[in-house]
Structure 1
Amino acid sequence: MTRTVLVTGGTSGIGRAIAERFAADRTEVYITGRHPDTVERTAKELGVHGVVCDATDPGQVAALAARLSELDALVNASGGLPEAVPGDGPALEALLAQWQTNLAQNLLGAVLTTASVLDKLTSGSSVISIGSIGAERGGGSYGAAKAALAAWNASLSRELGPHGITSNVISAGYITGTNFFRDQMTDERHNALVDETHNKRPGTVEDIGATAYFLASPGARHITGQTIHVNGGAFTTR
């Protein structure tokens, strides 16, 4: 029986790798993105369905949900560092805009999308959200939003667990193959981030794709309410 998976932010980086991993298993995959040309191109390249949707817009999210029937997995992969907020206004207003944008893109988009498809999830389904090591490393408004994502996931897991639905966060460390740093990564910074790991290599988008695929598999049915750290040991738990 063919599974159906929704991956928000699936046009590039981690989201695209996750969509590609599920599509390789002949899963029916829907990806979303904010830009029509990028969504159309990526959907064609991966052989998946593409839907233009801004996860922070309630109306667009509701329209997306209306197109779907049963979902076996939802992957909230949209987010990242927002584009620079104009700084020509009062300092406090600029600060507020920065925090609101980070919270919207890295927390509220996942909350809205998940709420919109709750009635599509059935026993055996999975909700997976992409977090960040920035939640553990004093990552400012971005890190705070990702920390809030993990806190929300814990409560969501408690809500969905009795229905046989799992909910987890993948907290990604330094991952190459994304536009997260917008070409601002230096060799020195790259080397420092790799040196923090135990296995002395950066993460790849395929690492995150494989982890998401596992969390939506039968072998992960008793894993829920967790933040899974995929960072090569740069941040460890016990």
Structure 2
Amino acid sequence: MTRTAVVTGGGTGLGRAIADRLAADGLEVTIVGRRAEVLETATKEINAAVGADRVTYVVADCADPDDVRALADACPDRVDVLVLNAGGLTPSTGDDLEALAHDWAADYRLNVLTAVLPVEALLSRLARPGGRIVAMSSIAALRGPGSYGASKGAINTWITGLAAEVAADGITANAVAPGFVPDTEFWDSRRSPELIAQRTSQIPVGRPGAPEEIAALVAHLGSPEAGFTTGQVVGIHGGALLARL
């Protein structure tokens, strides 16, 4: 039986790299995002690359309950891998309390609701046993300032609780926490040679990460071989933050 995957935020950046990898591995992939043109282009390009119609798309805002209900209706009856990649950073709208309240709420909506709502809507469709949930966290969850780091920290706490809830059904739930991966839309408005050099100087392996490396880790956590790994936040950042167990 062909395994299936749903990748939110799958039209560009890390989500696109993950969809590329899963489709190349033979999964049937549904990519999700808010921009139909971007999703249509990604779908055509991935299908052409793998030489088969393995990718379809659904336009949805994963922080909107009605959109997420419609997404669930459009997804396969059985989902083997659910990748929660939708998210981003809200630009600052000011320095008064009203702006602060707006920006923090916006980052939680963008990074937390976009993970929680799809899981709740699709949980009944996840394969039992063998379902895999992979959420996108960030190194910022452990050392990043402000609302973005706090929202990714919330993902870490939520995913560990979720893992305990679904373990008896043979479903795993983990998060991936990338470090500096400049070749994504996340960095488009800020990327510069100076920023890349400054960030790279803090990475022990001496280089930034690549989207394909993040996708490879997600592919492993979504694979049948990863059934004994759950409730984890797996860092992938070139040693920028060393773990102690």
CA distance in 2, matches of 1:154, 1:33: 25
Q: CA deviation at 1:97?
A: 0.6
Could you tell me the TM-score, scaled by structure 1's length? 0.95
CA distance in 2, matches of 1:187, 1:46: 30
2:145: which partner in 1? 139
CA distance in 1, matches of 2:145, 2:236: 17
Q: Is the 8 A contact 1:196 1:233 kept in 2?
A: no
The question of 1:150 aligning with 2:162 is answered: no
Structure 1 segment 1-238 matched on structure 2, within 5 A:
1-47=1-47, 48-68=55-75, 69-82=77-90, 84=91, 86-87=93-94, 91-122=96-127, 123-238=129-244
Q: CA deviation at 1:85?
A: 5.2
Amino acid in structure 2 at the alignment position of 1:195: S
CA distance in 1, matches of 2:235, 2:11: 23
Per-residue Cα deviation, 1:175-210 (whole angstroms, up to 9, x for no partner):
021011223223222112212222111001001100
CA distance in 1, matches of 2:144, 2:86: 21
Name the SS of the counterpart of 2:80 in structure 1: strand
Q: CA deviation at 1:219?
A: 2.1
Could you tell me the TM-score, scaled by structure 2's length? 0.93
CA distance in 2, matches of 1:189, 1:25: 34
Name the SS of the counterpart of 1:224 in structure 2: coil
Name the SS of the counterpart of 1:71 in structure 2: coil
Cα RMSD, aligned residues only: 1.2
CA distance in 2, matches of 1:186, 1:67: 40
Amino acid in structure 1 at the alignment position of 2:14: I
Of 176-185 and 223-232, more deviation after overlay is shown by 176-185
Q: Which runs of 5+ in 2 are unaligned?
A: 48-54
Aligned length: 235
Amino acid in structure 2 at the alignment position of 1:78: A
CA distance in 2, matches of 1:216, 1:38: 24
% same residue: 41
CA distance in 1, matches of 2:22, 2:83: 11
Q: Is the 8 A contact 2:58 2:74 kept in 1?
A: no
Q: CA deviation at 1:133?
A: 0.8
Name the SS of the counterpart of 1:124 in structure 2: coil
CA distance in 2, matches of 1:119, 1:49: 21
